[in-house]
Amino acid sequence: MATTSLWSIRGNVTAVIKYIKNPKKTTLPAGILPEVVAESENIETVLSLVDSINCSVKNAAKDMNTLKEYYGKTGGITAYHGYQSFSPEDDITPLQAHKIGMELAQALWGDRLQVVVATHLDKENHIHNHFVINTVPIDGSNKFCRTKQDYMDMRGYSDALCMKYGLTIIYPDGKKRNYGEYKADLDGKPTIRSTIRMDIDRAIAAAGINNNFFDNMKKLGYEIYLYSSSGEPLVHPKLKPYGTQKCFRFDKLGDGYDIPDIKERLRSPDREYCRLFPQPPKRIRHNYRCHKPRTVYSTYEYYGRFMRLHISRPGYVRRVPYYLREDIAKFERFVEKQNFMSAHRFESLADVVAYAASLQDKISFLTKQKQDLYIRASHEEKQGSEAYAHLYRMAAKDKYAEIRSLRKELRFCKEITGEYEKLMAKCMGLRNEVTLERNELIKQRQRVQVR
């Protein structure tokens, strides 16, 4: 199995080509050599899995830029960058992967475009090919512009090569999914659709003999659309979560969540039963008031508690606002910011801004130190002191690692400054929802006592 992709590049292609030609990623491990090696060939060239079509390997970027300048086509999209990634389940060697990549590039673009092909081996069990394709043809005709058909041809020919060399391929079932959601599902992370599927599962499990599934969905805050305004059944029934104008089609939620599948699950004798909402507490506080978080730190702690409660105890907030579903899909990022807040315990936005200013000063100071270390390393190299040059470079790398850490904190500070007011409004909205639900439970208990 091999997955493929192809996207556009604007600006100079030098950086992209330098990335895919990185010797640390493209050099064959010791002991692996092609079957036939000429005596005149340089062993470093043989060990490097980098090749080119219609240009030289060593000066590929220069050749591409020269061609653009010659025909006066230097603007717009300058190149396309793509990959062909092989499955860890396939028993494929680096040389075989590179051979397949070269065959793919030659078949698709070799007759008219300049292409650089590099095979990366830096990740264990994840061999993949990279392609950089010049948009200006060698004959100076119309620039190459990737269409949907070009991508389909790339995927189709890649599958054909996989079949030729005995590798597995994927036969699509016609249902397209967002890659981010697909990856999150594979990693077990929550997404908006996964929380909706979880609510549908709860509504099915809580449906009684009368199969009141749609009533349960309405109790969870959903609006269900089964019929059009004229009264005709919709071809694609849909639902709308609480707090949004966005609708989701049942047939796009995955297998087992279309209306016919849901009805089949409701009729199943093996269906599991559970409560739609958790058992309410025996004693309910009558003086349940809405407290506003007082500090920036407490606001993030407060909102994070709601997110964790919804993940661990579905139904704690009965009508889940849509913004909470969106933020749960980015839960890991929120936890990183929350841990950052826990480490510093900012009281106000002024504290965050002041800390960001101090971070900026530290970054500037460390950047200057890093530049000085590289200058010293270069000076020592010219003097012939390779050992001292290596030490200076290692020290500069340590400074760079520290700068990266500080830049991450600086990004957190900027994000917190921009989203704090919205997050406070979300906290108050959730608190009001819980307060209303508690009041409804109190009234319900009072009615039962009167009876």
CA–CA gap between residue 313 and residue 29 (Å, rounded): 50
What are the pLDDT digits (tens) for 235-255? Answer: 999 999 988 888 999 988 888
- The torsion of the CA quartet 188, 194, 199, 201, rounded to 10 degrees, works out to -70
Residues of the chain with CATH 3.30.930.30: 2-164
pLDDT at 85 over 70: yes
- The pLDDT value recorded for residue 323 is 86
Other Cβ atoms closer than 10 A to 268: 10
Question: Half-sphere exposure of residue 421, counting CA atoms within 13 Å on the CB side?
Answer: 2
- The pLDDT value recorded for residue 355 is 94
* Model confidence, pTM: 0.54
- Please answer whether residues 318 and 435 qualify as being in contact, where contact means their C-beta atoms are separated by less than 8 angstroms: no
Residue 260 corresponds to which tokens in the numbers above?
């016919």
Higher per-residue confidence, 226 vs 438: 226
What are the pLDDT digits (tens) for 102-157? Answer: 999 999 999 999 999 999 987 766 889 999 999 999 998 899 988 888 888 898 89
What are the pLDDT digits (tens) for 209-229? Answer: 556 888 889 888 899 999 988
Fold of 2-164: BirA Bifunctional Protein; domain 2 (3.30.930)
- The pLDDT value recorded for residue 409 is 92
- The pLDDT value recorded for residue 356 is 94
- The pLDDT value recorded for residue 287 is 44
Residue 35: pLDDT band by 50, 70, 90 thresholds?
A: very low
DSSP 321: -
DSSP 253: S
